[in-house]
Amino acid sequence: MKINKPKVLIHKRQHHDSYAIAITHDSDDFHDGLLIVSAEPNGLDEDYDAWVIAAYYMAAELEKCRGGRGS
């Protein structure tokens, strides 16, 4: 699968410490996501949390780069 015009959509869920992240082919619609992940650290499994925290961190950093505006 090749995404020629990747667009990263990030949604920080209200009242919850988690993100939904989608990569689309030049679309602003989460339903068009070719790759979608939900990131929420749970503290139950170190191996699992390492991957989730990496995704969570990247989502938070992308949001900072965007000036905090939601997608």
Average model confidence (pLDDT) for the chain?
A: 76
**Spans of all domains in the chain:** 6-65
Q: Are 70 and 20 in contact (CB under 8 A)?
A: no
pTM of the model: 0.59
pLDDT value of residue 28: 94
Distance CA 40, CA 3 (A): 26
Q: Where are the beta strands (DSSP E) in the chain?
A: 6-12, 19-25, 35-39
If you ran DSSP here, which 8-state letter would residue 44 be given? S
pLDDT value of residue 67: 64
Q: Are 11 and 29 in contact (CB under 8 A)?
A: no
pLDDT over threshold 60, residue 70: no
Q: How far, rounded to the nearest angstrom, does the alpha carbon of residue 66 sit from its chain's CA centroid?
A: 13
